[in-house]
Structure 1
Amino acid sequence: MRKETDSALTQQVISVWVRDPRIRKNDFWHAYIDYEICIHTDSVCFTKKISIVRRRFSEFVWLRQKLQANSQLMVQLPELPPKNPFFSLNNGQQITERMKGLQRFLEQILESPLLLSDSCLHLFLQSQLSVSKMNACAAGQTHYSVAQAVQQCGLRRFHSEEDLEKDLSMSCDSDSDSSECLDPELRIKDLAINKAESTTSLDLMGTSQEKPLSCSCGST
């Protein structure tokens, strides 16, 4: 019976895409790029089997630091793409290389059963919470749990705990791009169908790897 259970776990698949870099402006002088992270999985480690969120490079840095601290050096974490002091928002090649490096980072992270049990990873991949709210939620300092934050994931960031507690049956924000209002499942299926196609400049999609994972954790 034990062997059958282990065999079933090794067949679980987690597919991750990092794609669609977009320039966001904080103000007239400051801008940054965020990336779309798509997850499609049948793993019992995930509360939500299909999700789409957007994260920026600094949030990837936060994730690596949290995973390193929480794992207490029991796992050798992969490196993030190096922080280039000459990185330019107008350099498509630099953006594409960083995006591919971020995808490789996540692919390697998702191969570790120990890291898959970390609530910070699930909040990063499947919630729209900011870094400060992810820290608070993972520490149990919010009125909502990690699982609730994941389940209530919409296509915008929560500005307060009241936002999270609302029923997110509402539509997307009126100023959102129409493409962001699509059902995540339909968007993931579209990604899977078109993942072999190459695109140019800032709309390049990273390649997907579907690797069987040996996962011993429960859902968040």
Structure 2
Amino acid sequence: MQQVISVWVRDPRIQKNDFWHAYIDYEITLHTDSVFFTKKISSVRRRFSEFVWLRQKLQSNSMLMVQLPELPPKNPFFSLNNAKQVTERMKGLQTFLEQILQSPLLLSDSCLHLFLQSQLSVSKIEACAAGRTHYSVAQAVQSCGLRRFHSEEDLQKDLSMCSTCDSDSDSSECRYPEPEMKDLGINKTERRASLDLIVTRKEDTLSSPSGST
């Protein structure tokens, strides 16, 4: 049976670094039954400069054995508020990924998997793919969809919180414990402590001499 890899680039959003600087990122959603992917459904957000990095990295890693498709051209007059320009770039980015995902050689590249299915920055992608992190590529992919982590300790904490999640399911199913459940546990503990205190006081009363106060 032919394996299916479906990818969408959509939902452009303006993100502000500060009052003067902003950029657009895009949601990349992947659905697949391919053996190349451990996680069958995923969703991450990437900006145009990260796509530029990905193309350069894949071209370098493939040792020029694959002719990579082109990205949408850079436009010096590109405007974040120009819906037509944003839509054209978004379509171009999707076409780029669709063509990339047709190459078995590129599908074996860990950087591509981390780009599509992890929240790692490009610098952390390079470090993880080179084995310079305490977490593996598979662990970084598994953590996809949880809060963006900035350190290896954050990643390990996220992985422990999601240790029971199915790697083939959408990351939205990996949730932290609900606050209500935490409160319930605290209240139950408090009630148990109160009951123990009451029982102890009753036992002290029964064991004390009659007439004592």
Q: TM (normalized to structure 2)?
A: 0.74
| Whole-angstrom distance in 2 between the partners of 1:133 and 1:63 | 13
Tell whether the 8 Å contact from 2:145 to 2:172 is kept in structure 1 after alignment: no
- CA offsets 1:188-215 (integer angstroms, 9 cap, x no match): xxxxxxxxxxxxxxxxxxxxxxxxxxxx
Question: How many residues are matched?
Answer: 165
Tell me, which stretches of 5 or more residues in structure 2 are unaligned? 163-170, 175-213
Match of 1:97 among 70, 83, 88: 88
SS at match of 1:69: helix
Q: Percent of counterpart pairs with the same letter?
A: 85
Query: Does residue 161 of structure 1 match 2:152?
Result: yes
Query: Does residue 133 of structure 1 match 2:124?
Result: yes
Query: Does residue 71 of structure 1 match 2:71?
Result: no
Tell me, which stretches of 5 or more residues in structure 1 are unaligned? 1-7, 171-180, 185-220
Tell whether the 8 Å contact from 2:9 to 2:91 is kept in structure 1 after alignment: yes
Match of 1:152 among 139, 143, 150: 143
What does residue 8 of structure 2 align with?
Answer: 17
Structure 1 ranges of 4+ moved more than 3 A: 167-170, 181-184
Q: Which has the higher contact order (CA 8 A, sep 6+)?
A: 1
| Whole-angstrom distance in 2 between the partners of 1:20 and 1:167 | 26
RMSD: 1.6
More helix by share: 2
SS at match of 1:17: strand
What does residue 85 of structure 1 align with?
Answer: 76
Match of 1:122 among 113, 120, 130: 113
Query: Does residue 51 of structure 1 match 2:65?
Result: no
CA radius of gyration, larger in: 2
Shift in alpha-carbon separation, 1:98–1:154, aligned structure 2, 3 A: same
| Whole-angstrom distance in 2 between the partners of 1:100 and 1:31 | 21
| Whole-angstrom distance in 2 between the partners of 1:182 and 1:140 | 27
What does residue 20 of structure 2 align with?
Answer: 29
Deviation at 1:156?
A: 3.4
Tell whether the 8 Å contact from 1:17 to 1:37 is kept in structure 2 after alignment: yes
Tell whether the 8 Å contact from 2:146 to 2:158 is kept in structure 1 after alignment: no
Deviation at 1:47?
A: 1.4
